[in-house]
Amino acid sequence: MPHQRSAASSRTEGLERWLVSLPREELLALVREQVERDHELHRRLELRAASARRDDPTVRERVLALLDPVPFARYGCVEYADAHAYGRQASEAVAALRTLTADGRAALAVTLAREAMAALCRAYEDIDDSSGSVGSVAEELAEAHLEACRAACPDPLETAEWLARHLLGGDCDVFDPDPFDYREVLGTDGLARLRQLATGAWRRKPSGWA
């Protein structure tokens, strides 16, 4: 194993040196060649380019396209055999959201993460996720939303109302955020508003609560 690790490290360093030595035009030609062959790489670079240009409509379009299950739904739903491939593509959307947050565009990441969560909720109804691969992506997406909220500091009352709708709506089985995780984002006012909304929902329908 030590010999194999050393050999792998040597190969990686050799590749790095070779790439650095290439003239700009040759390097661009190499990237173009790979983009034409690798559709996943094409999508990732296209999304990064749109983000770098601050082309928000295109960023939104590409993020939501990554969560579209239609290309994987051969018979009207995403079967077990295709769920992993769909999850791998959906994880690219999560990576894009985290990149937005890291680049100082957390407010946009908050908005897009909410849309992405809603899109994945709709898609999940028709996915055989027995392996849990899509569920894992959903957890990462929820974490990306929380990270963006912590960075953007969105309005605590509006965030509390969104969180209440999400938790009390009962329309999605794949997301189950813990309000306690949002305590720093909500603050005193937001937590009070969330408690008020939860209490009101319980009073309207106490039999629906465990």
Question: Residue 99, exposed/middle/buried by CB under 10 A (0-12, 13-18, 19+)?
Answer: middle
CB environment 46-56: b (16+ within 10 A), e (fewer): ebeebbeeeee
State residue 85's pLDDT score. 92
pLDDT tens for 128-151 read: 999 999 999 999 999 999 999 999
The mean pLDDT value of the chain amounts to 88
State residue 206's pLDDT score. 62
State residue 186's pLDDT score. 95
pLDDT above 60: residue 208: no
pLDDT tens for 29-62 read: 988 988 888 877 887 788 888 888 888 899 999 9
What are residue 127's DSSP bridge partners? Answer: 78
The two three-digit tokens of residue 173, written as one number: 């089985």
State residue 171's pLDDT score. 64
Report the pLDDT averaged over residues 2-24: 82
Domain ranges across the chain = 28-154, 155-210
Measured distance CA(144)–CA(95) in Å, rounded: 8
State residue 209's pLDDT score. 47
Q: Which of 62-66, 75-79, 85-89, 170-174 has the lowest mean pLDDT?
A: 170-174
